[in-house]
Amino acid sequence: MKTGIDAISFDVANIHLPIKTLAIARNIEPEKLEKGLGLLKMTFPDVHQDAIVFGANALTKLIIDHKINLNEISRIYVGTESSIDSSKPIASYLINLMEQKFGEDALAECDVVDFTFACIGGVDALQNCLDFVKLNPAKKAIVVTTDFAKYDLNSGGEYTQGAGALAMLITSDPKIIAFDNNWATSTKGVFDFFKPYRTISKEAITQNSNNDSWFDNLEAEIEIHKDQPVFDGQYSNQCYMDRTRNAYFSFKKLKNTTETLYNTWHSIVMHLPYSFQGRRMLSEIYALDSSEKIIADDIAPADYQTKIKEVAKSEDYRTFVTEKLQPAELASSLIGNLYTGSIFMGLLSTLAHFYDTNKEVAGTKFGFLAYGSGSKSKVFEGTIQPEWQSALAKTKLFENLEESTEIGFETYESLHKKELKQSVRTPKNEWVLERIEKDIPTLIGARYYKWID
């Protein structure tokens, strides 16, 4: 029996800052960001958008565009690292919004939950849903990945920001891709990137707030949770490389093959926190798994990294990147980081590219290398299904991204600081954040959303 993705929808922030504008404002060479990291545009949420809005929009599109009968949906599992609540999952908000749109009992018997493990939470949700459908072939599940990748102003992560969601229907008769049963995992507990609760004084908050009454009853010190992570960029890259390399070679063992695994994959889809992360991280695996022994067994440790860098610059590796990785990078360059959604956007970008260029890829195998900080990697593979093109006909990824509205640097900074009160774009056919309760004691912090026709 096959299990996999039957349909995909997405919603990304539809305003963006050109990366060149950010580079100039921050005194960074634009070529470093454009040619070194592959960044062109950075999407950013509008005033009325948050992770719940993106998730609800992607889910609503999936249900409407693919005429999904909600009685058939047994699970909605959400991958996210942008939760706004330690108790109530984003999945609970999504159910509430689907009830508003499709009827009070629309998903009354559906199991819903959030999965959090940095950027790999969506892959964890997918793996669970695939297992569920394998056991219950008549049932269907939906995986939603939704995030706002927000970094501090002036930080090394600032140029990798982005925001949006994907929703994927998982069935036992998938039209887009069927996943194989082998999944390899590599895990290690580290602090490369995380979003801890931090202690902050009431004085510091009130000094930075224009709404003092909100803080009147607070203690002198409180714990706050920031959207922005604490991270060590170069260390996070090292963890990414170590985990994916280990998972890749475990995957070879699972498959009991000595063949160069990446040669068996038509396309490679990796977690892309920025467009060129995959190509910068994969050169080591490319060299180690080569039949030509690019890296000799007796190489001195001091020469190892130099050799990997040489491989990354070689003509052979560049050709390999163009053929196998570049299609997944295209959307990332125009969006930025989607955290849990990045790997799935890579899949959609690859398929949308082949769709737009009329390339038939049915029957080919795609390899997936997922990563989440903290840290965990999963390697798995799937086969593209004969009906992938008809299943993607409505998606129009690149046409949609073309319609994004450019914003200037001042607008970006005021959105980042939450100072802007009026949306940049007038919402249409989408969910919006209406208000956050500030007064009723039993509802303080509750978020309310509405659908705008």
Ligand X SMILES: CC(=O)SCCNC(=O)CCNC(=O)[C@H](O)C(C)(C)COP(=O)(O)OP(=O)(O)OC[C@H]1O[C@@H](n2cnc3c(N)ncnc32)[C@H](O)[C@@H]1OP(=O)(O)O
Amino acid at residue number 102: F
Q: Which of 4, 18, 174, 273 binds ligand X (CB under 6 A)?
A: 273
Q: Which of 227, 233, 413, 414 binds ligand X (CB under 6 A)?
A: 233
Instruction: Give the binding-site size for ligand X (rule: CB under 6 A).
Output: 22
Q: Which of 96, 228, 237, 364 binds ligand X (CB under 6 A)?
A: 237
Residue with Cβ nearer ligand X (29 or 223): 29
Residue with Cβ nearer ligand X (118 or 433): 118
Q: Please state, in angstroms and as integers, the Cα–Cα distance from residue 148 to each residue in 17, 45, 343, following that order.
A: 15, 8, 15
Q: How far is the CB of 234 from ligand X (least distance, A)?
A: 6
**Any contact of residue 370 with ligand X (CB under 6 A)?**
no
Give the rounded distance of the alpha carbon of 345 from its chain centre. Answer: 7
Q: Which of 31, 72, 356, 437 binds ligand X (CB under 6 A)?
A: 31
Q: Please state, in angstroms and as integers, the Cα–Cα distance from residue 26 to each residue in 109, 141, 329, 404, 430, following that order.
A: 50, 44, 24, 23, 33
Contact range with ligand X by CB under 6 A, out of 105-113, 156-164, 202-210, 253-261: 156-164
**Burial bucket for residue 144 (CB in 10 Å: 0-12, 13-18, 19+):** buried
Q: How far is the CB of 400 from ligand X (least distance, A)?
A: 24
Contact range with ligand X by CB under 6 A, out of 81-89, 179-187, 195-203, 272-280: 272-280
| Dihedral sign computed on CA atoms, order 68, 104, 61, 337 | negative
Q: Is 158 helix (H, G, I), strand (E, B) or coil?
A: helix
Residue with Cβ nearer ligand X (76 or 272): 272
- DSSP state letters, 372-410: ETTTEEEEEEEEE-TTHHHHHTTT-HHHHHHTPEE--HH
Contact 67, 188 (CB under 8 A): no
Binding to ligand X, residues 372-391 (CB under 6 A): 373
Separation of alpha carbons 48 and 305, rounded Å: 46
Q: Which of 86, 207, 211, 234 binds ligand X (CB under 6 A)?
A: 234
Residue with tokens 């990563």: 371
Q: Which two tokens stand for residue 34?
A: 């454009």
What phi, psi does 384 have (nearest 5°)? Answer: -70, 135
**Any contact of residue 225 with ligand X (CB under 6 A)?**
no
Residue with Cβ nearer ligand X (94 or 328): 328
Q: How far is the CB of 373 from ligand X (least distance, A)?
A: 5
Peptide bond before 375: cis, by omega within 30 degrees of 0?
Answer: yes
**Any contact of residue 32 with ligand X (CB under 6 A)?**
yes
Q: Which of 36, 103, 408, 445 binds ligand X (CB under 6 A)?
A: 36
Binding to ligand X, residues 177-216 (CB under 6 A): 193
Residue with Cβ nearer ligand X (355 or 368): 368
Angle at alpha carbon of residue 353, lines to 350 and 355, rounded to 5°: 110
Q: Which of 12, 119, 338, 432 binds ligand X (CB under 6 A)?
A: 119
Q: Which of 80, 82, 160, 340 binds ligand X (CB under 6 A)?
A: 160
Binding site for ligand X (CB under 6 A): 29, 31-32, 35-37, 119, 156-157, 160, 193, 231, 233-234, 236-237, 240, 273-274, 277, 280, 373
